[in-house]
A and B are shown apart, each in its own frame.
Chain A
Amino acid sequence: MQLEDFYGRLVKVAGQENVAYLPATAKKISAIEITGKYIICHRCNQKTNKQLAFLPNGNYYCPQCIQFGRLTSQDLLYTIAEPNRFPLQTAPLTWSGKLSALQQGCAVDLQLQTSRKKDFLLWAVTGAGKTEILFPTIAAALKRRERICIATPRIDVCNELYPRLSAAFKQTSMVLLHGSSSMDYRYSQIVICTTHQLLKFKNAFDLLIIDEADAFPFKGNRLLQTAVTNARKKISSLLLLTATPTSEMLRKVKQHQLKLGYLPLRFHGHLLPVPQIILLPSWKKQLQRQKLAQNIIRPLQKWLQAGWPVLVFAPQISLLELLKTSLKQFTTNQHLTTVFAADPHRIEKVQQMREESCQLLITTTILERGVTFPKLNVLVIGADEPVFTEEALVQIAGRAGRSSQRPVGEVIFACSMLNRNLSRAIRQIKFLNHEGAKLNNNALSKVPTSDTK
């Protein structure tokens, strides 16, 4: 093992392994601490009852972070403090695009707060161009020779971020880490990973960015929250990006622990599409008979004839096939398919949708965020089911109208009845549109029109 692998990382070394090559500065931690009734794992910092963690040979192991390799009370963890051994860069940003006036305002604020090592929440609507807003901040941090991590709970989002960032920062060393990534760990200045991978780092990052910070499984997961606190340096800044902040984040904003940046307008300056609600009291029964009501068939047929791609969301995997067969009767179009989390062809199908070789994709909440299909229209069936939370509905509605070729899209929520999640989601979209419209008017009066994209 190389010395570089220990920088800002927690590396497991079995008790009998020779570690003479490590310098005296390397810190040794025993992997499992045994207290009275509990054991504490020093990788994931979780307490486990001894009864759930014992092994018959007298040792203990941590069952909570076992997916990264088992740690037993025989193991040791070594770490070397992050030395920030990176080349000095004067112009790290190799991106030629330009930010809109609104994005620029947000980016300047962000850059200022991160240089002061403050925590920041960027609340930007879906499709606001969050990644691009980050570029000046990342560039400034690279100039300071800082180590940066962009973590997100979703593998799809990781995979989408990596090519975009490596195109924007061509000279910077970068690595993509997640459970099914083909890349091995190597010491690099930018790390793009899933939030689970943060468990392997210790006091490593000067700037830690969490994209989609409200998504499952990061939201409300204590293990991952502590992973974040451990992975960043003592003096560092944490940046949360989201389109639908949780109440906990907003509480921290009120307590002045988090600075808030706010972007209620998309990069193309258009407002979010407001979902239309269609009541279908017995859609489940109709679907069992492979039928669908005319008032959702009609708009669907209209969309398909116009040649727009359509994303249909269903609350359960078991409904996907039923929907597929019933939709096939009403459309002559054969380019429709289904995709769900455990689908072996998931990535190819999403790619087909992107290339427009498939026009209608039926899916579950897995595609609620992080994917962009141009010119899209969205239909949610059973929008009042509990899987569609307020955040999920806002995100789903945000799939439409993301490209500047077709900045308006249509969104239909079909439900058997109106519920709290639905009305709150629509209220949130309308609130953001209200704020956005105000900004739009201001921006138009202040900045010359040629600058606003």
Chain B
Amino acid sequence: MHCLKCQRLIQNKSLLKWFFSWTPIEQENLCAVCRADFLSLKSESICSGCGRFQTTPELCSDCHEWQRKITGDLLKNRALYCYNQAMKDYFLNYKFHGNYQWRLFFQSAIAKEVGKFTHQGWLAVPIPISDQTWQQRGFNQVEGLLEKVSFKRLLKIKANSNKGVQSKRNRQQRLKMPQPFELNDKIQVNDKKILLIDDVYTTGRTLYHARSLMLAAGAANVKSLTLAR
């Protein structure tokens, strides 16, 4: 198998160990050199509110701001990787150039993390994209990452929400964005623990909009998981 990013042959090491583990072969899609560019985040060195990479686990200034704005607990977002240059390149290729194959890179890491929640009865809910983007891109980037996980499409984009791509707006414009989502089925949310899943946590605006909708429909608890922060 060749690395999908750099096209080099992936050396499969520790074959003997795998042989005695009696598990199926896990197909690697990314070589060790390319994978080392992505900085995975450990729980001791991230902000406990948004999962941002920092030296101490205290709340960052962004999260203090959110604490003033909302009622109830913060999202306690868990991000798997730091949004560094390698991650920016990844999203450029995967989302914007539309290389759907690249969804495979982080599927097992996400499946493992989501699994920890679903075992305790959490319901995975991906953030949707608009119909227009869906037609253009051909896929939902969040659902692409969740192929190995069972999830529920509870959210959808409102028909009259303002058009345009998020990444083209600056921070202030993003924070002023009105509620873009609505619920498909309110009954399913009632008294459930909801795990929102998105690709990147930037300002947190999108995820907090989804959270308020969930809480209004009677969700017991809302947390979030993103690939990058």
What residues make up the interface of A, taking CB atoms closer than 8 Å to B?
52, 54-57, 59, 61, 63, 66, 69-70, 72
Contact = CB atoms under 8 A, between A and B. Distances in A.
- Size class of the contact patch on chain B: 10 to 19
B140 to A, nearest CB: 7
Contacts, number: 30
A59 B139 CA distance: 10
A55 B139 contact: yes
B140 A70 contact: no
Given A54-B100, A56-B138, A63-B99, 15 more contacts: A55-B100, A56-B100, A56-B139, A56-B140, A56-B144, A57-B134, A57-B139, A61-B100, A61-B138, A63-B101, A66-B98, A69-B97, A70-B97, A70-B99, A72-B138
17 contacts: A54-B100, A55-B100, A55-B138, A56-B100, A56-B139, A56-B140, A56-B143, A57-B135, A57-B138, A59-B138, A61-B98, A61-B100, A61-B138, A63-B100, A66-B97, A70-B97, A70-B99
A344 B124 CA distance: 42
Contacts of B100: 54-56, 61, 63
Nearest to B100: A55
A342 to B, nearest CB: 11
Contacts of A69: 97
A70 B94 CA distance: 11
Contacts of A70: 97-99
A66 B94 CA distance: 11
Nearest to B101: A63
Contacts of A52: 101
Contacts of B135: 57
Pick the 10 closest A-B CB pairs, nearest first. A55-B138, A70-B98, A57-B138, A56-B139, A63-B101, A66-B99, A55-B139, A59-B138, A55-B100, A70-B97
B72 to A, nearest CB: 35
A69 B96 CA distance: 10
B33 to A, nearest CB: 11
Contacts of A61: 98, 100, 138
A61 B135 CA distance: 13
Nearest to A52: B101
B164 to A, nearest CB: 20
Interface string B114-152: 000000000000000000001100111001100000000
